[in-house]
Structure 1
Amino acid sequence: MLRLARENSRWGHRRIQGELARLGHSIAASTVWQILHTAGIDPARRRGGPTWREFLSAQATSVIACDFLHIDTISLQRLYALIFLEHRTRRLYVAGVTAHPTAAWAIQQARNLATGLGMRMDSLFLLIRDRDSKYTDAFDAVFQAEDIEIIKTPTRAPKANAHCERVIGTLRREVLDHMLIFGEGHARHVLAVYQRHYNAHRSHRARCQLPPQVHGRPPPVLKPASRKVLRTRVLGGVINEYRYAS
């Protein structure tokens, strides 16, 4: 536990609890906090929860949201990534990256997403988006063709799309604030690698510390002391993943 805290300075006690749970160790978050506190390791800064709580909780199984993320390269070029997030599973999709996010480009990314989701589109009924001019009627039509209703957030109200705003913040805190992005191709690679980590490995409090693509907890480890924990460095060590040696 202390090793995880020392090797991941931005992880709080709940994030460490999630990684331990993924490794098969059942331990309360309060116990993790107490151990870290006793060792002199401060907890991570706490963040507030989202608004629209009742609405989003009731509709989570059918909601997908989208937003634009901007990325500044080492040459001071600004890039834009269109991201989608399923509320129920917390599954992240990075639809595309470009330096010129036109309405036509956004429409094509929406079509690509609809094709990639396939049958999963049948479980979605609401799309939350802001009022950016790049979201045109043709963009909405891609989702309306799948019987998905469009919900526009109020003007200048980012908290109305809290889940997308939070995952954008996560992308910045865990990756983009700690890497130099050289260009569009590099940004696309970095976001693709992080998407795989986010969906297949990273624990999520909203899912009882399970990653989006994992549907059950691993079996408990009977003799953890006899098994070696291996660390996998993701994106050159910006992120660490832990597994038991086979």
Structure 2
Amino acid sequence: MLKNAGIEPAPTRDTGPTWATFLRNQAEAILACDFVVIDLLDGSKAYLLVVIEHATRRVRFLDTTLHPTTDWIVQQARNLLMDLDDSGTTVKYLIHDHDHDASFSAVFDAVFTAAGMEVIRTGIHVPRQNSIMERWFRSLRAELTDRTLIWNLKHLMRLLREYEAFYNRHRPHQAMDQTASLKPRPDNVIDLDSFRARRQDRAGGLLHEYHQVA
């Protein structure tokens, strides 16, 4: 029927960019945010609000709470805007999941739209539309939360601050030529056989950093 009507197949009919193309082209201006739920030893659940920059893979842990109310999350949005302004980071698009519509209210979105950003909600149960954030969730669980017992919010925040510093300043990323988020990319490959390295443990030995010995 489509052929008889002169309509080509969908891949050629759609003249606009694909979602993957949009993410690649606009990476410098995209910030993604979402909640991650972490189980504590007392049976309660902690809600961590985190954002990640698409271009640099830098993560920011905003705060954790046992009860993410609308007032709390709106205050975190305001705190994030101040942090972005202090660091000179320019953001045009903010992506968050539609699944958490109850938490990401219209008031939350209005904080960012008032600052000149465009808020993009992903489709319901479509994690690939927020793929970089989803991939980061897997890293957090594999490298930290699945490997330690977390007593309470205070203990959780201490571990998260350690992981935030490790992830941004030391952990290599394949998409960034094996450099860390807050480090410049190398101009050439360094021969590691010519250098001695020293290991520094973080989070009780769960995380390891390696530094060149002077």
Q: State the TM-score, normalizing by the size of structure 1.
A: 0.74
Code of the aligned partner of 1:236: G
From 181, 186, 189, give the equivalent of 1:217.
186
List runs of 5+ in structure 2 lacking aligned partners. Answer: 1-17
Is the Cα–Cα contact under 8 Å of residues 229 and 245 in structure 1 kept in the other structure? yes
Greater mean deviation of Cα atoms: 113-122 or 172-181: 113-122
Q: Counterpart in 2 of 1:118?
A: 85
**Which residues of 2 match residues 1-246 of structure 1 at below 5 A?**
52-118=19-85, 120=87, 123-131=90-98, 132=100, 133-217=102-186, 224-225=193-194, 227-246=195-214
Distance 1:223 1:154, change over 3 A: closer
Backbone CA RMSD of aligned residues: 1.9
Q: State the TM-score, normalizing by the size of structure 2.
A: 0.85
Distance 1:223 1:173, change over 3 A: closer
Q: Percent identity?
A: 35
Query: Can you list the C-alpha shifts for 1:58-81, whole angstroms capped at 9, x where unaligned?
Result: 110110000100000111111110
Distance 1:76 1:58, change over 3 A: same
List runs of 5+ in structure 1 lacking aligned partners. Answer: 1-50
- Distance in structure 2 (CA, Å) of the matches to 1:151 and 1:212: 24
Is the Cα–Cα contact under 8 Å of residues 121 and 146 in structure 1 kept in the other structure? no
User: For 2:167, what is the secondary structure of its paired residue?
Assistant: helix
Deviation at 1:188, TM superposition (A): 1.0
Query: Can you list the C-alpha shifts for 1:69-107, whole angstroms capped at 9, x where unaligned?
Result: 000011111111000000011110011101001111111
Q: How many residues align?
A: 195
Q: Which one has the largest radius of gyration?
A: 2
User: For 1:155, what is the secondary structure of its paired residue?
Assistant: coil
Q: Higher RCO, 1 or 2 (CA under 8 Å, sep at least 6)?
A: 1
- Distance in structure 2 (CA, Å) of the matches to 1:144 and 1:97: 24
Is the Cα–Cα contact under 8 Å of residues 122 and 146 in structure 1 kept in the other structure? no
User: For 1:123, what is the secondary structure of its paired residue?
Assistant: coil
Query: Can you list the C-alpha shifts for 1:111-147, whole angstroms capped at 9, x where unaligned?
Result: 1111111155662100001122111121112111221
Query: Can you list the C-alpha shifts for 1:7-50, whole angstroms capped at 9, x where unaligned?
Result: xxxxxxxxxxxxxxxxxxxxxxxxxxxxxxxxxxxxxxxxxxxx
